[in-house]
Structure formats: structure tokens, C-alpha cells
């Protein structure tokens, strides 16, 4: 009698996840990180991180945009030697995605900015430190000497621009990202509803929200206060900004509504490294960025956190690709799967950035959590390339996609 062949095992072996900390073993995708972070973070801080603006129309549309395309696959292609390395603005990265800039990460996880930077450096992907971070840029530059970029919120004030650029250069950053979609403060009603403000105002409600999340209270806030003192906005300008917890200090945002293309031209003249402009949606603005001398642009609607109703970057990507000239074309907002990354690349992106899931990962598991999130996304892309039938990401194009 012929023996039955052994059954093929689908998915990872039962013990394949034992190397992970217990809290990460049930995290099978980036989507699993949000509910996990909700269980760790106090309500105001989680609400700030998760929320968009007004009715969350853009926030929801960002992820929905990726469902407007389906794949046309090619079979019987030898994909055994496939690679997802990516050449971007003179540097080769090991994956086609990076970590987007997010403020206040030191509130999500102890030394959150450094944890993300170290995970990105080890993985060989770009990490963008936010100008609204609570960790000195000099420390982060040391943690990721080859992969760290710095993102700045720039007011239309020449003296401020000159001082900040000098500090960024002295810290060792080679790539500067200027965010240009924050001419005024957004109407973030969600922050009011969950009791979040910057700076945070001490109150009985805030104290209770911390007490019911003891892991965060001890492991993040308590550890931070003991080792680093009260966090401050460290990188908004040439000097130190205001503390994140205060009963009477007001955070200053400067003359951001004065910022214009002339200031971008000045920045290009002063900054000797790579210059990236973030927050563009219009193909006309992409063309102007190329004319002013930018090395790259990041299509972005700020993750749905600025103007509600702004179109998702993915939906304007094809037009932007026609206008980019010699610049690198990147995007963020809404990416949650390897298939999302591949769709963006097929439509003309050179690279993409992932935001909230990486912050959730830091909240859940610190540096190990961010590393796990990076690995999950990279493994999905590796698998997806085989199933689509490409061995190099440069083979991707519109012919692999069908609009639905």
C-alpha cells in the first residue's frame, strides 16, 4: 500500500513565535497592534495617537484607498532570488518602507524615539524623527547614524530657520524633511473629548487615566521621570522647548502661516544635505518642489490629522509621478499591509512610510515591538512579491493592478 504523503503545514510552526516576548506573540499583523496599544496606553494618550480630525473622513479614506486596486498576478516565474532592497536619494535601504515622523513618542514608550531609531537602524530602513519629539535630536542621530532623518515644522521666520538648520546639521543628520501642511492648528476635537492637550494639564482625570494603566504609569512615565526628568519639546528650534506636563505653560507654534515657497528656497540654499518636502497632495506643488531644488517629496495628508476631507495620497500618486522630475517620490498615510506597500510602488512611489502602527508597536513592546512590526511588514512584502510574480520591486507597474 502506498503511504500518504506528509501533509503540508500551512503558516508558521506552532513554536515559531516563542522567540518573541509573550505580549507580541499574538500580534500577527500591523492591524493587531492598535487594540494591543489601547490596552497599554492611558485613554488621553491613545486617543491622541489614534485620532484624526473632525469627522475622521480622511483618516478612514486613507486605508480605504488601497482597496480601490486589485492585483493581476503572473505565475510560473522564478522568484526564488527576489529582493526588496531599495535605492533612495543615494542610499540603499533593505526594505521599501520607513518609519514616518510622529511627535510625543516618548509618551508612548520609554525612550520611544530612540527605540524606533535603533530598530530602524538595525533593519536598514529610514527613520524620521519628528520636530515635535520629546527626545533631543542629538541622541537620536547617534542611535541611527546611517538611517535617521530629521523632520521640522518651520515657521516663516528667517532667524529661526537658520538656527534650527545649523543644529540639525551639527547633530549629524544628512536628510532634512520639511512638513508644509500645518499652516494652522487643526480642529482635533478628539483630543478635547479624550482629555488630551499639549502640554498636558495635571488633573484628577489625567491621574486616574494613568492609574488604570499601571504598566504605562510605571514602565513609561515613572521610568522617564526617574531617568530623564519631565520631557520637553526638545527639537522645535535651536533651543529647548516647553515641558510636556505643565499647568500654565503654553506651547508656541510660531508663524507657520507665514511659511511660503521663498522660505523653501532659503532652506535649499542653507541646507547642504538631502531636502525632502512633506505634506504635498497637488501635482502642481510637486512640480514646484522640484523647481525649488528638493531632492524628494512625501505625499501626505498628515495621516488624516489636518484638513478633514483631504484626498488620500494614493489617489493622486499617478499624477504626482508625472510631475516629480528627478526627485524621489514617497508617500505615507494609511499603509497597514505589504500589499499596500506594493500597490503604492506599482503606482509610482519610490518609497513609503508607516506611522501609527510603529508607535503602537513601541507602546506594546518597546524596541522589540518595533522590530517585530518591521519584520511582519517585510515578510508580507517578501511573500506578496512571490505571489504576484516579481523578483525585483522595480518590475512593478500599472500592469499589475486593476482598478475596481
Q: Enumerate the active-site residues.
A: 302
Cell of 217: 504609569
Three-class DSSP category at 113: helix
Residue count of the chain, please give it: 404
Nearest to 82 by CA among 348, 399, 403, 393: 393
CB 69 within 8 A of CB 340: no
Q: How far, in whole angstroms, is CA 334 from its chain's centroid?
A: 10
Whole-angstrom distance, CA of residue 357 vs CA of residue 361? 6
**DSSP strand pairing (91-93 vs 86-88):** antiparallel
Q: What counts of helices (H) and strands (E) characterise the chain?
A: 16, 12
Helices (H), 124-270: 137-143, 158-171, 189-194, 204-211, 214-216, 223-228, 261-270
Nearest to 355 by CA among 178, 129, 181, 147: 129
Burial 210-249 (b: 16+ CB within 10 A, else e): beebeebbeebbeebeeeeeebbbbbbbeeebebbbbeee
Whole-angstrom distance, CA of residue 93 vs CA of residue 112? 22
Nearest to 116 by CA among 386, 385, 391, 364: 364
Q: How far, in whole angstroms, is CA 75 from its chain's centroid?
A: 33
Indicate the Cα dihedral angle 243, 245, 247, 249, nearest 10°: 20
Amino acid at each position: 500500500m502506498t503511504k500518504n504523503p506528509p501533509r503540508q503545514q500551512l503558516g508558521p510552526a506552532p513554536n515559531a513565535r516563542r522567540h518573541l516576548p509573550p505580549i507580541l506573540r499574538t500580534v500577527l499583523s500591523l492591524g493587531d497592534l492598535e487594540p494591543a496599544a489601547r490596552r497599554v496606553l492611558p485613554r488621553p494618550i491613545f486617543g491622541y495617537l489614534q485620532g484624526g480630525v473632525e469627522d475622521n473622513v480622511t483618516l478612514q479614506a486613507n486605508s480605504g484607498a488601497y482597496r480601490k486596486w486589485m492585483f493581476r498576478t503572473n505565475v510560473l516565474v522564478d522568484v526564488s532570488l527576489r529582493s526588496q532592497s531599495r535605492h533612495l536619494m543615494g542610499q540603499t535601504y533593505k526594505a521599501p518602507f520607513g518609519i514616518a515622523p510622529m511627535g510625543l513618542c516618548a509618551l508612548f514608550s520609554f525612550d520611544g524615539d530612540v527605540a524606533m531609531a535603533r530598530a530602524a537602524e538595525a533593519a536598514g530602513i529610514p527613520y524620521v524623527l519628528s520636530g515635535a519629539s520629546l527626545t533631543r535630536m542629538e541622541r537620536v542621530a547617534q542611535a541611527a547614524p546611517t538611517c535617521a532623518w530629521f523632520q521640522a515644522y518651520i515657521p516663516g521666520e528667517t532667524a529661526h530657520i537658520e538656527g534650527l538648520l545649523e543644529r540639525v546639521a551639527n547633530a549629524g543628520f544628512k536628510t532634512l524633511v520639511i512638513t508644509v501642511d500645518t499652516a494652522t492648528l487643526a480642529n482635533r476635537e478628539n483630543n478635547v473629548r479624550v482629555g488630551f492637550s499639549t502640554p498636558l494639564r495635571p488633573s484628577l482625570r489625567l491621574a486616574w487615566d494613568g492609574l488604570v494603566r499601571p504598566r504605562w504609569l510605571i514602565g513609561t512615565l515613572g521610568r522617564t521621570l526617574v531617568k530623564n526628568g519631565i520631557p520637553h519639546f526638545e527639537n522645535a528650534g535651536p533651543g529647548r522647548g516647553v515641558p510636556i506636563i505643565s499647568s500654565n505653560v503654553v506651547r508656541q507654534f510660531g508663524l507657520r502661516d507665514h511659511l511660503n515657497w521663498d522660505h523653501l528656497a532659503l532652506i535649499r540654499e542653507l541646507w547642504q544635505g538631502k531636502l525632502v518636502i512633506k505634506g504635498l497632495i497637488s501635482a502642481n506643488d510637486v512640480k514646484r518642489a522640484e523647481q525649488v531644488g528638493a531632492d524628494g517629496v512625501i505625499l501626505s495628508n498628515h495621516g488624516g490629522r489636518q484638513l478633514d476631507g483631504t484626498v488620500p495620497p494614493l489617489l493622486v500618486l499617478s499624477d504626482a509621478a508625472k510631475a516629480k522630475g528627478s526627485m524621489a517620490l514617497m508617500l505615507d498615510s494609511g499603509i497597514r499591509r505589504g500589499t499596500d506597500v506594493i500597490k503604492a510602488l506599482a503606482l509610482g512611489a519610490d518609497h513609503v512610510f508607516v506611522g501609527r502602527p510603529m508607535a503602537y508597536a513601541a507602546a506594546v513592546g518597546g524596541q522589540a515591538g518595533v522590530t517585530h512590526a518591521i519584520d511582519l511588514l517585510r515578510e508580507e512584502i517578501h511573500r506578496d512579491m512571490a505571489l504576484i510574480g516579481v523578483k525585483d520591486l522595480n518590475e512593478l507597474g500599472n500592469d499589475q493592478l486593476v482598478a475596481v
